[in-house]
Amino acid sequence: MAALMANIVQFENVGLRYGSGPETLSDVNFGLKSGAFYFLTGASGAGKTSLLKLLYLAQRPSRGVVRLFGEDAGVLPRARLPGFRRRIGVVFQDFRLVPHLSAYDNIALPLRVAGVPESDVEAPVREMLAWVGLIERSRAKPPTLSGGEQQRIAIARAVIGRPEILVADEPTGNVDPAMAERLLHLFESLNRLGTTVVVATHDFHLINRIPTAHMMRIEQGRLSDATGALRNPPKSA
């Protein structure tokens, strides 16, 4: 029981079916330890995005239980969902910034949506801009930024609310290898501060860069390594 309590995320016999199709995810069981770093790998179409959507509450399981922060997410009253979602930051491959808002306003968005008074918005946004190295681009709109710059803004937006879990779905898919390393450094530094990080990626170079990370592999909708054990990362794809 103590081990279970320590898990910030627990999937119990989770299945996911879209509409009346076959199950996209079946019998998924795993736990994520608070403060650990996880990579999720698997072939295209194996179900990585689907699993992450269950984790950040964009999708409900068709069966089984998704337990977050010790609570069954499936029975949470609707009113508590926004508060729960704020505890999980999400980064996407395609950035998903609001195009007509400046970098500054994109990063400020989660605070403003949460009703943080304007007087308390500027300092954390500036801190985030400095952290991702983009203070000088604060007034720029996303379409005028490079992919790497957009992703750093997206990461700043994902973590400005100090989430306990950061979920990233192929976050380096649209940037060059040098920028991928830089993004990974940001995830590492968050993880060192205690954030639980889950990164779905095909990039074995990145995986090899964090030898202490836990590895989860999904094959045709089933987790093939849910032990959470430390592993020797593969040396090539």
Q: Are 206 and 184 in contact (CB under 8 A)?
A: yes
* Cα angle, residue 115 at apex, residues 130 and 125 outer, rounded to 5°: 5
Q: How far apart are CA 60 and CA 70, in angstroms?
A: 17
Of 28 and 111, nearer to ligand ATP (C-beta) is: 28
State the minimum distance, in angstroms, from the CB of residue 203 to ligand ATP. Answer: 12
Report the candidate in 160, 172, 51 with the shortest Cα–Cα distance to residue 112. 160
State the minimum distance, in angstroms, from the CB of residue 147 to ligand ATP. Answer: 17
Of 126 and 217, nearer to ligand ATP (C-beta) is: 217
DSSP character at residue 153: H
Interface with ligand ATP (CB under 6 A), residue total 10
Q: Are 184 and 210 in contact (CB under 8 A)?
A: yes
Binding to ligand ATP (CB under 6 A): which residues in 156-185?
Answer: none
State the minimum distance, in angstroms, from the CB of residue 108 to ligand ATP. Answer: 30
Of 24 and 151, nearer to ligand ATP (C-beta) is: 24
Q: Are 153 and 136 in contact (CB under 8 A)?
A: no
Q: Which long-range contacts (CB under 8 A, 24 or more apart) does 126-132 make?
A: 128/156, 128/157, 128/159, 128/160, 129/103, 129/104, 129/156, 131/156, 131/186, 132/156, 132/186
- Packed helices 103-113 and 122-131: angle between N→C axes, nearest 10 degrees: 130
Quick note: the x/- pattern for ligand ATP over 38-77, rule CB under 6 A, is ----x-xxxxxxx---------------------------
Residue 137 interacting with ligand ATP (CB under 6 A): no
Among 9, 10, 11, 24, binds ligand ATP (CB under 6 A): 24
Of 45 and 82, nearer to ligand ATP (C-beta) is: 45
Q: How far apart are CA 87 and CA 11, in angstroms?
A: 17
Residue 232 interacting with ligand ATP (CB under 6 A): no
Of 59 and 102, nearer to ligand ATP (C-beta) is: 59
Residue 98: other Cβ atoms inside 10 A: 12
Residue 18 interacting with ligand ATP (CB under 6 A): yes
Of 45 and 99, nearer to ligand ATP (C-beta) is: 45
State the minimum distance, in angstroms, from the CB of residue 101 to ligand ATP. Answer: 27
Of 202 and 231, nearer to ligand ATP (C-beta) is: 202
Contacts to ligand ATP by CB under 6 A = 18, 24, 42, 44-50
